[in-house]
Structure 1
């Protein structure tokens, strides 16, 4: 195992830098937009633009890698992402920022797909569970650490844009100097709603609902924090609290979900997220808000991995990659839609209305799951690997999941002709 860890260390460093820069920008842009006086609807438009770009990037990157190779594709996308990051500092207007956020989403998803494909190749058969656990810790840690920079540098300064660009550029170094052979061509995933719903109605609508709520939260929570009078430093702590809450609860509730009907902890988290969201919308005081945010993150951010596990319990082993990849794309569709209703409500009723939107989505999905539990009682037998904490990243990360090992290997001849396999 030490050999495995050594071989993936450079890739994990690139991943940490990418997630750190991306999460930092996700907080910085709404904060700076609020300081510049942008309406919430424009901030929501940035979130929508990012998620549209992210989905398009997941479709285009396999084609780009097929044409120029992994390292060249990564270098080109890193240059685009860093340049886009600096572009935000040059054009302090809402419309250019929406366009730049879209470009950032296209290039950013491509960067993650490439490094995740490399990580998957290095993990090999039999080690994916350990590698996925390490990857998830790196993913969460990088997100949390990136928020601490707001304690030291004011968002009003251009410095933060420069720091984010530097971080993204540095992510290129471990990939550029690696002597490892390039991995096999990337696969992408398609969204087959009929097949997903037939496999698991709860996971299908649940993933859409999590996307609707999370897309609004990650796009607008910094604006909410500013609107209720929190300082820039406290905005970073609010996001950190949500991330830590997720990290603390995800594994224990996943363990529980392997031993009961998974729909019980899933519906509990949906109702809990709804209640905590409403509570946070009316809370006052920095410490109280941070505490509520941590519990909110524990419930709201832990749901997606359980939904993937529930769908995996009901799918055939060879279909796991296509089902979980489709759920991730459906989450992305929900995220690109969810930011705009949240922004419109904030413009109409005030910043606290963000959590009125997330609470309505969470409670609506919870009611649907209760109806499904009454209609189809009983527990689906869990897969042998059980629950796995999975990041909401790109379809390539799905193949790191040890539950995917029963899936058929890529058709390399078809990849060579088509520039990547489309998972049905």
Structure 2
């Protein structure tokens, strides 16, 4: 694994530094809006703008890459992202921040497309799993550690934005100085959502629910924490705990799903998400609350790759990459809708409405999963492909997954 990562170390360093600078912006923006007295529904709209930009960028950045290449595209989107980050310091008007969040999302999608297609080109055979794991560690470790930049305020509120812009700008250096040739952008045809639902209803429902849950959490989790009486430092710690918990539990839950009926592990994971969310809605996220946040992150982050693996168990090997691309789209749509739905609930129920809605949604997926276990046959263990953790970024990342052909593809959800 070490040797496979050495060949892409500059790309992994670039995504780590960029996430270090940009990963905490959603938290920072939510905190600033809350301090300014912005109502939850407006904060939700601004969070939705980011995920809308992310989905739009994932679909359209490829055309720019085909015209000017990976290095130039990467430099452009990083430069625009850095400029957008500084632009928050000019005004705190909600409409301006909504536009900037859309731009941020579009640019981050561009970063993902460039780096993931490059990683796909450099990874070969058995090294693909190691490269994917290294990419996910760099991505989420940067995002989790970056939350701590919230503690650096200095004498002016513009300091975190300036630090973020500096880090984002520095992320371009490893790529701009690389001697690697630009790869060919892989095709990312997505399987029809209706075809995916007909093949694996539980996978579609689980992925959509994960999008709603995590989209709402990223956008409104800081609002919940602040309204619960947490300081900025404690809010940063809470967000870090959830993100790093999500990284830590993906692998052990995935290994369990290789040994047992994958639907059972999905149902148990949603139960963990529901219980932790319900308790978080009743307590302040400090002490025990941090442990619950870690559990919540672990269960919520793991649900997406578990559902992707379950869908792939139902499909022919040739369909699996395109199916995963379709599931990324479903997740993105859920993430865009989540902040809107949950912010409306928080307006009525208060800050605890975030985790109340999450708990209700997780319980619904739990019930749906139990029903699918009742009416559908389990995929035989020998027919399941090995679980692989997946980032919730763009369809290009699915190309890094090592597809293990099954002898038969007649399993049913």
TM superposition score normalised by structure 2: 0.94
1:125 Cα shift? 2.6
1:240-389 pair list within 5 angstroms: 240-284=240-284, 286-381=286-381, 386-389=386-389
CA distance in 2, matches of 1:154, 1:216: 29
Shift of 1:26: 1.7
Distance of 2:126 and 2:288 partners within structure 1 = 44
Q: Give the CA RMSD over aligned residues.
A: 1.9
List aligned pairs for 1:39-188, cutoff 5 A: 39-153=39-153, 157-188=157-188
Q: What is the CA–CA distance in structure 1 between the aligned matches of 2:355 and 2:100, rounded to whole Å?
A: 27
Q: Deviations over 1:240-291 (max 9, x none)?
A: 1112222232111111100111011101111221121111011136212212
The answer as to whether partners of 1:209 and 1:362 remain within 8 angstroms in 2 is yes
Counterpart Cα distance in 2 of 1:295 and 1:384: 26
Residues 193 and 285 (structure 1), Cα distance of their counterparts in 2 relative to 1, 3 Å cut? closer
Structure 2 match to 1:226: 226
1:359-397: CA deviation from partner (whole Å, max 9, x where unpaired): 111111111111111001323446675111111111111
CA distance in 2, matches of 1:167, 1:189: 34
Contact 1:58 1:188 in 2 (8 A): no
- Counterpart Cα distance in 2 of 1:155 and 1:217: 29
Q: Which is further off, 101-110 or 372-381?
A: 372-381
Which is worse superposed, 313-322 or 18-27? 18-27
Q: Is the 8 A contact 1:62 1:186 kept in 2?
A: no
Change (3 A) 1:371 1:155: farther
Post-superposition shift, 1:187?
Answer: 3.0
User: Which residues in structure 2 correspond to 1:190-229 (within 5 Å)?
Assistant: 190=190, 192-229=192-229
User: Are the counterparts in 2 of residues 155 and 232 from structure 1 also a CA contact under 8 Å?
Assistant: no
CA deviations on 1:182-219 (whole Å, 9 max, x unpaired) are 00024344461111112211101110111111111111
Partner of 1:26: 26
What is the deviation of 1:126?
Answer: 2.7
Provide the rounded CA distance (Å) in 1 between the counterparts of 2:284 and 2:155: 23
| Aligned residue number for residue 411 of structure 2 | none
Distance in 1 between residues matched to 2:269 and 2:215, nearest whole Å: 17
145-154 or 129-138: which moved more? 145-154
Report if aligned partners of 1:250, 1:302 keep a CA contact under 8 Å in 2.
Answer: yes
Contact residue 31 and residue 155 of structure 1 kept, 8 A = no
Identify which range, 53-62 or 143-152, moves more after superposition.
143-152
Which residue matches 1:36? 36
Q: CA, structure 1 residues 181+209, in 2 after alignment: closer, same or farther (shift >3 Å)?
A: same
Q: Secondary structure of the equivalent of 2:180? A: coil
The answer on whether the counterparts of 2:54 and 2:105 sit within 8 Å (CA) in structure 1 is: yes
**Bigger shift: residues 230-239 or 282-291:** 282-291
Counterparts of 2:155 and 2:270, CA distance in 1: 33
The secondary structure found in structure 1 opposite 2:281 is helix
CA–CA distance in 2 between the matches of 1:2 and 1:246? 23
TM score, norm. by length of structure 1: 0.92
Structure 2: segments with no counterpart, 5+ residues: 407-413
8 Å contact 1:28–1:155 — kept in the other structure? no
Distance in 2 separating the partners of 1:155 and 1:51: 31
- Tell me by how many angstroms 1:137 deviates: 1.6
Do the aligned partners of residues 49 and 260 (structure 1) sit closer, same or farther apart at CA in structure 2, a change above 3 Å counting? Answer: same
1:260 touches 1:379 (CA, 8 Å); kept in 2?
no
Using a 3 Å threshold, how does the CA distance of structure 1 residues 122 and 112 change in structure 2: closer, same or farther? same
